[in-house]
Structure 1
């Protein structure tokens, strides 16, 4: 992660984050980026925010299709934390919701996901939320490994993902 800087995002970077998210979901699922995924991401950005962090990468020109709009070298990743209760009904009501976390495929494998995750949890704590909750697909082993190693544990039974129907589960920070 030698060339990346994690910082608070500006409002004009939200659309670049949406595009990065759509591209990351498409790469993970092996299908083209969809307008449905973009719309769902935009709705998450409209929720009450606890933190929106981005990582700039001097070696990148922004998410695929962005034309480098992110500036300062390009958007390499982001983490969005929203207020407790902004996830699913039945989520813990005292935990901030780590709604979205993505790293551009060109910046993966350098510890950026971990840096964003830990920074997001720290920002939530600074905002008065001692725990964070997230939802992850049960078959997304790279993400689950990251969450486990950062002190997250599964919580409750699996449920179908709102768009794909694939099994996912809530995870909560315990550290």
Structure 2
């Protein structure tokens, strides 16, 4: 990760920048604007019990990435009961592939581990090859059955990792 970047704890003043970045990252990934309700769904995740919220900033203070881990039980009912949930992870499209997502993931999982969570779980689109490559290379493994994404019905998988 470049030296002109920092990973800080997220704060309420960062919320709209994170939501905006989420929407931009989804549009870059999918090739079209996110569906109605996506911004509100994203905001709602920040109202859940937060284990870790990290923000990647450039030296100008602008948000270039962020991640959010929420408490066990905040994902799907089928998720492992004791696993913290990696709800959101995004990096500005122009900065993807530069190690920033990996650095954010390290910070988030370190926080979840320090908070005593034995495992973490996430939901990902199998056709999001960059995200899947990152997670699988870091030791995340598929668990459970594929399911339809709640907003747009695309196939979605659950991945888990042991934190102890």
TM above 0.5: yes
- Equivalent residue of 2:37, what SS? helix
- Equivalent residue of 1:87, what SS? coil
Runs of 4+ that moved beyond 6 A = none
- Equivalent residue of 1:163, what SS? coil
Partner of 2:119: 131
Aligned 8 A contact 1:81 1:120 in 2: yes
Partner of 1:143: 131
Aligned residues: CA RMSD = 1.2
TM-score, L = length of structure 2: 0.94
Partner of 2:158: 170
Partner of 1:15: 16
Aligned residues: 162
TM-score, L = length of structure 1: 0.88
Aligned 8 A contact 2:52 2:111 in 1: yes
The 2-side partners of 1:14 and 1:151 are apart by 29
The 1-side partners of 2:84 and 2:12 are apart by 20
Unaligned runs of 5+ in 2: none
Aligned 8 A contact 2:118 2:162 in 1: no
Partner of 1:48: 49
Unaligned runs of 5+ in 1: 59-71
Partner of 2:97: 109
Partner of 1:61: none
The 2-side partners of 1:156 and 1:90 are apart by 8
Question: What is the CA distance between 1:174 and its match in structure 2?
Answer: 3.2
